[in-house]
């Protein structure tokens, strides 16, 4: 199974996938390319470390969505990799119909809440401010509805009385780093 990973930030979830691959925990999955929408994104530094091509692709002209010329650049770059799945690991852009159509049924996203609760930006902060006792993370298929696609799997994180927003964030990130590679391994075993 061939995957590409898209990210916007430091790349901790991409690192978890790459480490799982290196350690033999992803079955026959091959990470064929890393893409970032910011030239300074930490995910790009993972390429040389793990021997995977890593490329900044200009998402312009929009700041929060992938549309227009930027969308076409991404579609072309990803299609050239012939992936079975496109994995969004902290890719902070709303995807539009052209991209969704190009990779229909093959885009998965990691979200830091137990969807359908707390979709959109700052899922951890939303849960914290609401005062829930259990939150977590979700891996789901991507559809036109933001964070609304079919759920593949989830991991729960209990909010303890002594937790702070910072400790909760650490706990959710730890759950993400376990869940996303586990889902990719399951997809690989299921035949991609």
Q: Active-site residue numbers?
A: 111
The helix/strand/coil state of 94 is strand
* Whole-angstrom distance, CA of residue 63 vs CA of residue 72: 15
Burial code of 12-41, b = ≥16 C-beta within 10 A, e = fewer?
bbbbbbbebbeeeebbebebbbbbbbeeeb
Tell me how crowded residue 60 is: count the other CB atoms within 10 A of its CB: 10
Whether omega before 166 lies within 30 degrees of 0, making that bond cis, reads: no
Distance (Å, rounded) from C-alpha 113 to C-alpha 173?
A: 11
Residue 137: strand, helix, or coil: strand
Distance, in Å, from the CA atom of 192 to the CA atom of 186, rounded to the nearest integer, reads: 9
State the Rg of the chain over Cα: 16
């Amino acid at each position: 199974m061939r995957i590409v990973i898209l990210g916007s930030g430091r790349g901790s979830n991409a690192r978890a996938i790459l480490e799982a691959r290196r350690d033999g925990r992803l079955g026959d999955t091959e990470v064929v390319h890393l893409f970032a929408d910011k030239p300074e994104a930490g995910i790009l530094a993972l390429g040389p470390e793990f021997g995977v091509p890593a490329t900044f692709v200009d998402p312009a002209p929009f700041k929060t969505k992938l549309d227009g010329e930027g969308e076409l650049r991404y579609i072309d770059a990803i299609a050239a990799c012939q992936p079975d799945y496109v994995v969004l690991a902290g890719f902070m852009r709303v995807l539009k119909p052209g991209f969704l159509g190009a990779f229909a049924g093959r885009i998965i996203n990691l979200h830091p809440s137990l969807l359908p609760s707390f979709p959109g930006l700052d899922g951890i902060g939303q849960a914290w401010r609401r005062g829930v006792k259990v939150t977590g993370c979700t891996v789901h298929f991507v559809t036109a509805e933001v964070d609304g696609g079919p759920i593949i799997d989830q991991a729960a994180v209990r909010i303890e009385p002594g937790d702070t927003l910072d400790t909760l964030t650490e706990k959710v990130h730890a759950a993400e780093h376990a869940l996303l590679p586990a889902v990719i391994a399951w997809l690989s075993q299921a035949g991609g």
